[in-house]
Amino acid sequence: MDTKHYLSLLDELDDLEQTEQIWNKKKRRNKYPARHPQKPDAQTRALIRTQDDTGQNFKFTYQAARFEESWLLESLGAFYEHRWISDVLRRVKGGKEASVYLCVAGAEVSARLLAAKVYRPRQLRNLKNDALYRVGRRDLDQDGNRIVDDGMLKALHHRTGYGEQLRHQSWIAHEFQALKTLQAAGADVPEPYAAEHNAILMDYVGDRSASAPTLNTITMEPAEARLLFDRVIDNVDLMLQQHYVHGDLSAYNILYWQGNIRLIDFPQIVSPADNPAAWEIFRRDVARVCQYFGSQGVPSDPRTLAADLWRSHGYKIADHVPRNGPPLT
Ligand SMILES: Nc1ncnc2c1ncn2[C@@H]1O[C@H](COP(=O)(O)OP(=O)(O)O)[C@@H](O)[C@H]1O
Ligand SMILES: [Mg+2]
C-alpha cells in the first residue's frame, strides 16, 4: 500500500471515529436522537432494501439506471411512505447540483403533479464559492432548526465526513425554508411540500408531457417582456423585504409557463444584512436579470436599479468584496 493511500485510509478512519464519538455523545444527551448521519455501505443498503417493505412496494414508472434507482429509493422513499408521492414518471432535468423528477402526487397532497428535486450525492457536488454564500448564515439541521449541538458544530468546523453531511443538509434546509417563507409572502415560487435529507418536494410547473422551460430559452415580444421584467423585479424586492438575496438569479433559474413565471433554485440564498458580499451578489443577480430582458427589448440601468432597491430596504452599499472572497463574475 503506498503512503498516500495509507494516509487517506487513516483520514477515513479518523472521520468514522469522530462520527461515532459524536453519535454516542448525542445518544446519551438525546432520548430521541435524529437518524444516524452515517450512510450504510452499499451491501448494507441492499440488505435493508430487501427487508424494507416500503422500498419493495415503491415501484415507479420511470426507468432509472441501477445506481439512479437506488439513489431515488433512498431519496424519495420517505415521500412515498408518507403518501406525498405515488409514482415517479420521468426525469425533468439533470442540473448542476440536483436532478428534478416529475412525480404523481400521493393521497396526502391536493396537487396532481409534483416536482422532486433530488440533490446529487454530496461527494459529487461542486458548489463553487461555498464559503462566500455561507457567511452570516446559520447552519440548519434537517428540520430547519439552527444547529446548536457542540458535537455537530465541531464536526462542521473540522469538516469531518459527518460535518460535510450536515453541511449538505443545511443547504437543502435553507432552500426549503426560503421557498416556504417566500411562498407565504406571496412570491412567485413553487409551493414547497416537504424536505428530506436529500430531496425537496414542491409544486411542479408544466404539464404531463412538457415541463416549463427556463426563461433563457424563451423569446417574447417587448410588451410581454416589460410586464415580466417588472414582475421579476417585484419578486426581487419582496425577497429583500424577507431578508433574502437569491444568489444565483438569472433567466436560467426562472421558469416560464403560460405567460407566468416561477423563480427557482434557492440553496445559496444569502442574508443582505449579515453577508459582507451580499451587495455584490445582489448587484450580479439584478444585472443578469437585466441582461436577459435587455435582449428581449427592455433596456434598463442595472446598477442604478440594484442600488435603488438595496437602499430602499435600508441597506448600505459596501463597494468591495471581502478580501478573502473570490471575485464574482
Ligand atoms: N418546480 C419545478 N417544476 C418544473 N421543473 C423544475 C422545477 N424545479 C426545477 N425544475 C427544472 O429542473 C432544473 C434544475 O433545477 P434547479 O433547482 O435549477 O437546480 P440546479 O441547481 O441543478 O440548477 C431547472 O432548470 C428546471 O428545468
Ligand atoms: Mg438552476
- CA-CA distance, 275 to 135, in Å (whole number)? 5
pLDDT in tens, 34-74: 343 445 555 555 544 444 454 558 999 999 988 899 999 99
- pLDDT tens string 3-31: 343 333 333 333 433 434 444 444 444 44
The C-alpha cell at 97 is 447540483
Q: Which pLDDT does position 129 carry in this prediction?
A: 64
Tell me, using a 6 A CB cutoff, whether residue 127 lines ligand 1. no
Rounded to an integer, what distance in angstroms lies between the CA atom of residue 120 and that of residue 125? 6
Q: How does residue 164 score in pLDDT terms, banded at 50, 70 and 90?
A: confident
Cell of 328: 464574482
What are the tens digits of pLDDT across the range 195-211? 998 999 999 999 999 99
134 pLDDT above the threshold of 90: no
95 CA → ligand 1 middle, Å? 7
Q: Is the CB of 211 under 6 A from ligand 1?
A: yes
β-bridge mates for residue 118, sequence order = 99, 199
Distant-in-sequence contacts of 247-252, Cβ < 8 A, 24+ apart = 247/133, 247/281, 247/285, 248/285, 249/285, 249/286, 249/288, 249/289, 250/216, 250/285, 250/288, 250/289, 250/291, 250/292, 251/214, 251/215, 251/216, 251/288, 251/289, 251/292, 252/214, 252/215, 252/216
Mutate to test the pocket of ligand 1, among 127, 249, 265 (most ligand atoms within 8 A of CB): 265
Return the number of other C-beta atoms located less than 10 Å from residue 137's C-beta.
16
DSSP string, 71-91: HHHHHHHHHHHTTSEEEEEEE
191 ligand 1 Cβ < 6 A: no
Q: What is the pLDDT of residue 282?
A: 97
Counting ligands in written order, the one closest to the CA of 171 is 1
- Which set of grid coordinates corresponds to residue 218? 424563451
pTM (2 decimals)?
0.81
Residue 62 Cα, ligand 2 centroid: separation in angstroms?
Answer: 22
